[in-house]
């Protein structure tokens, strides 16, 4: 085969031509450069750079500077053949480029070089996405977190794992507790209401929240998240993990009188005492199902949604009507992390991304790893 000087050919990424394959394609604005590799008979590789043009079909248009023969494939008078990735990368200022495609056989080796390099986190995330295409959603979320000027986190369920592991569930294993946190239960079945709330208060005494609380707190400390909102009830201990924590429903461990709203203690509530001021029944000050949110809580949460450029919803119940109303208040991007498969319909916000049936602890831990690069 003979091709004249100045002729063009087309080389598809990952497909060998005369033994040469595209290992890395990189771009910087409208400039492209490609590292080519050739596997030798002894299974070692040699590498060289081509400064060709990558078209929209991920193929390289190469202008040959001299004829090809069966022995050598010379692409450019400026290319140099080397025998290792490290040497090859040293020949090009790759730190200024972002990768488009990386040969699957070299992804881990390239990432080992890149992740310790002195480049910005944003560019490292792009290299991570190219090296691990199956984890692109992680790098995308991490990039959004870095770029957002105001991010809020909404925390939904916080005690599922603890309840399942508790040895003191007793009768609650056999009772439908779905509607116990309701105004109806308080009014018409106060004894069951009080017993169940007392049980919850007991198991939450030393509870610091799910594992991912530490990660969210770390994001907040590093000014990556500006506020935390508890969708369901909170406790003083859980809220204390964050600098700026807001309630929607309210705290479970702040006890008051249902009638006069005078404050009381958890001990008085558990011991079945009544209000010392008016004799009324005691209850948590949180909003129960069937009641309206406290105006101050609702206004504060809406204000956060209006300011947010990025919203993390972690194990939230997105099926409740007020959730859609909150989503209408934001122009930001919304990321929903859920351990369960939920029917999610948020039609007015096209920037919503759903990651369902995942472990928030693992997902956020990997995000934290990427942000610490």
- For 269-279, how does the pLDDT look when each residue is reduced to its tens digit (9 = 90+)? 999 999 999 99
Residue position matching structure tokens 């990556």: 224
Burial label for 216, CB within 10 Å (0-12, 13-18, 19+), is buried
Give 254 or 58, the one with higher predicted confidence.
254
In the chain the beta strands, taken as DSSP E runs, fall at 8-12, 20-28, 31-39, 45-50, 53-54, 59-63, 98-102, 151-155, 227-230, 233-234, 245-247, 250-251, 255-257, 263-264, 282-284, 310-314, 333-338, 352-356
Architecture of domain 132-159+211-249+293-373: 3-Layer(aba) Sandwich (3.40)
Report how far residue 337's alpha carbon sits from residue 73's, in angstroms, rounded to the nearest whole number.
Answer: 50
Residue 165, pLDDT score? 43
Intervals of CATH 3.30.1600.10 along the chain:
163-203+251-285
Report how far residue 207's alpha carbon sits from residue 41's, in angstroms, rounded to the nearest whole number.
Answer: 61
Query: In this model, does residue 148 exceed pLDDT 90?
Result: yes
Report how far residue 79's alpha carbon sits from residue 99's, in angstroms, rounded to the nearest whole number.
Answer: 19
Report how far residue 113's alpha carbon sits from residue 106's, in angstroms, rounded to the nearest whole number.
Answer: 11
Residue 216, pLDDT score? 94
- Mean pLDDT score of the chain, rounded to an integer? 81
Helix (H, G, I), strand (E, B) or coil at 302: helix
pTM of the model: 0.78
Task: From 284, 183, 269, 299, select the one nearest 236 (Cα to Cα).
Answer: 284
Residue 357, pLDDT score? 67
Give every strand in the sheet of 20-28, ordered side by side.
45-50, 31-39, 20-28, 98-102
Mean pLDDT is lowest, of 13-17, 97-101, 123-127, for 13-17
Q: Which residues pair with 335 in a beta bridge?
A: 312, 353
Residue 338, pLDDT score? 80
- Cα-Cα-Cα-Cα dihedral sign, residues 42, 111, 117, 58: positive
**Fold of the domain spanning 163-203+251-285:** SIR2/SIRT2 'Small Domain' (3.30.1600)
Intervals of CATH 3.40.50.1220 along the chain:
132-159+211-249+293-373
Residue position matching structure tokens 């771009």: 27
């Amino acid at each position: 085969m003979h091709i004249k000087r100045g002729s063009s050919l087309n080389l598809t990424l990952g497909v060998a031509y005369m033994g040469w394959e595209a290992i890395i394609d990189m771009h910087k604005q409208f400039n492209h450069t490609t590292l080519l590799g050739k596997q030798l008979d002894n299974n070692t590789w040699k590498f060289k750079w081509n400064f060709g043009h990558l078209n929209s079909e991920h193929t390289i248009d190469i202008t040959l500077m001299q004829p090809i023969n069966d022995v050598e494939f010379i692409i450019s008078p400026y290319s140099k053949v080397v025998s290792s990735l490290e040497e090859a990368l040293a020949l090009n200022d790759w730190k200024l480029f972002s990768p488009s495609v990386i040969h699957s056989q070299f992804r881990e080796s390239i990432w080992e070089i890149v992740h310790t390099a002195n480049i910005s986190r944003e560019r490292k995330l792009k290299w991570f996405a190219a090296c691990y295409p199956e984890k692109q959603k992680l790098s995308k979320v991490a990039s959004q977190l870095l770029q957002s000027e105001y991010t809020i986190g909404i925390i939904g369920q916080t005690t599922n794992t603890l309840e399942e592991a508790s040895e003191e569930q007793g009768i609650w294993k056999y009772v439908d507790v779905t509607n116990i946190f309701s105004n109806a239960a308080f009014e018409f079945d106060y004894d069951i209401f009080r017993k169940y709330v007392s049980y919850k208060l007991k198991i939450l005494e030393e509870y610091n929240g799910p594992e991912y609380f530490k990660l969210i707190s770390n994001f907040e400390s590093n000014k990556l998240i500006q506020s935390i909102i508890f969708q369901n009830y909170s406790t003083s201990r859980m809220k204390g993990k964050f600098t700026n924590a807001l309630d929607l429903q309210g705290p479970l461990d702040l006890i008051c009188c249902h009638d006069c709203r005078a404050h009381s203690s958890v001990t008085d509530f558990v011991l079945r005492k009544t209000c010392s001021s008016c004799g009324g029944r005691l209850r948590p000050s949180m909003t129960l199902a069937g009641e309206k949110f406290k105006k101050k809580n609702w206004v504060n949460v809406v204000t956060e949604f209006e300011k947010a450029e990025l919203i993390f919803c972690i194990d939230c119940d997105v099926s409740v009507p007020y959730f859609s109303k909150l989503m209408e208040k934001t122009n930001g991007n919304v990321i929903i992390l859920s351990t369960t498969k939920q029917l999610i319909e948020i039609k007015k916000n096209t920037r919503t991304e759903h990651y369902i049936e995942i472990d928030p602890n693992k997902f956020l831990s990997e995000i934290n790893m990427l942000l610490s690069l």
